[in-house]
């Protein structure tokens, strides 16, 4: 890496650090949505298993 490339990369990094951080909020939001959907699927799976178990018992 040449010194010109290095100074260019440092400048870009500094500019990026000055920008308001928009990515973390949207990333957290999508992660929360994913984890919620995952929990929903797990609950549905548990309900199905409970129904199967009650059918086996009767």
Mean pLDDT for each consecutive 10-residue tract of the chain (58 residues)? 84 79 61 73 86 76
Structure pTM? 0.36
**Residue 14 to residues 3, 4, 17: CA-CA distances in angstroms?**
16, 15, 5
Phi, psi of 51 (to 5 degrees): -65, -45
């Amino acid at each position: 890496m040449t010194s010109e490339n290095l100074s260019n990369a440092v400048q870009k990094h500094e500019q990026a650090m000055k920008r308001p951080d928009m990515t973390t909020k949207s990333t957290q939001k999508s992660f929360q949505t994913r984890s919620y959907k995952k929990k929903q699927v797990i609950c549905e799976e548990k309900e199905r298993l409970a129904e199967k178990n009650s059918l086996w018992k009767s």
